[in-house]
Amino acid sequence: MTLTAGWFMGLAAVLFALGGAGVLLRRNALVMFMSIELMLNAVNLTFVAASKALGQIEGQVATLFVIVVAAAEVTVGLAIIVAIFHNRASADVDEFAELKG
């Protein structure tokens, strides 16, 4: 049995759906953050699978840029979440709405 690009695209679709469900259904900021990262990795898998199937390098280059942007997002996002958690002792996103000016 050979794994084709279709298998990887199907896996990426399942991972993206799980990440989307995590963002929509969970109220914890850290879980939502991990779900967004799961969605980004699903897109990366799609880029790499399409790049491999087409025999081109552009998908892998795009994946590199997505990984760099995701690393910056993780740095800034986790710093904000930790600062809020330190002050509020809760990571519930419904309580974050109270921080409006």
Which run of H or of E encompasses 19? Answer: helix 5-25
30: pLDDT strictly greater than 90: no
**Nearest to residue 8, comparing CAs of 40, 38, 39, 53?**
53
Supply the CATH classification number for the domain 29-88.
Answer: 1.10.287.3510
**Predicted pLDDT at 24:** 94
- Residue 100's pLDDT band (boundaries 50, 70, 90)? low
99: pLDDT strictly greater than 80: no
Where do the domains of the chain lie?
29-88
What stretches of 26-57 show up as alpha helix (H) in DSSP? Answer: 29-54
pTM, two decimals, is 0.82
